[in-house]
Amino acid sequence: MAGIGEAAIIGIVGAIVSAAGAAAGTVVSVNAANEQADQAKKAAEFNNAVAQNSAIAANQAAAYEARQIRRRNLLRIGSQRAIGAKSGIDIAAGGSIDDVIFDSAVQGELEVEAAKYAGAVQSANYQSRGAMSIFEGKQQASAAGYQGASSLIAGVGSVAGSAAQGYGAYSKYKTPKVPKTT
C-alpha cells in the first residue's frame, strides 16, 4: 500500500466498517421481522383457540338453558294438572284445562328453541372472531415478511454503497499517477 496516505487508509477502513455494520444491521432487521411474523402467527392461533373454546362453551350453556326451560315447563304443566285435579276438573275428559296445558307446552318449547338459537348465534360469533384472528395474524405475518424483505434490500444496497465507496477510495490511490511524456 505504498503511496496511500493515512486519510485514504482511514477512508477505506471506514468504508469496510460501514459495510460490516450495514450487513449486521440488515441481519438483525430481517431476524426481527421474522420473529415478529412468528409472534403474530402464534397470537392469532391463541386467539382462535380461545374463540373456539368460547364457541363450545356458548353451545353448552345454551343446551343447559334449554334443559332448564324444559324442566321448568314440565313443573308448570304438572302444577296446572294438579290445580285442575284439586279443583275437581276431570283432566281425562278434556276441555279448557287441556288448552291451558297444551299452550304451556308449546310456549315452553318455543322458549327452548329461542335459547338454542341464542346459543348458536353466540357460538357463530365466537367462531367468526377466531377466523378473523387467524386472518389478521396472517396479514401481520405477511406485513412483517415484507418488512424483512425491505430491510434485506435496503441492507444490501447499503453494503454495496459502502463497498463502492471503499473501492473508490482505494482505487484512487491504487495506481500511481505517472507524468505524461510528450
Q: Return the domain boundaries, the chain.
A: 6-172
pLDDT band at 60 (very low <50, low <70, confident <90, very high): very high
What does the alpha-carbon distance between residue 105 and residue 114 come to, in Å, rounded to a whole number? 14
Whether pTM exceeds 0.75: no
In Å, how far are 23, 46, 76, 113, 122 from 101, measured between CA atoms?
A: 83, 49, 9, 19, 32
pLDDT in tens, 71-101: 999 999 888 888 877 877 766 666 677 778 8
The cell numbers describing 174, all together, are 491504487
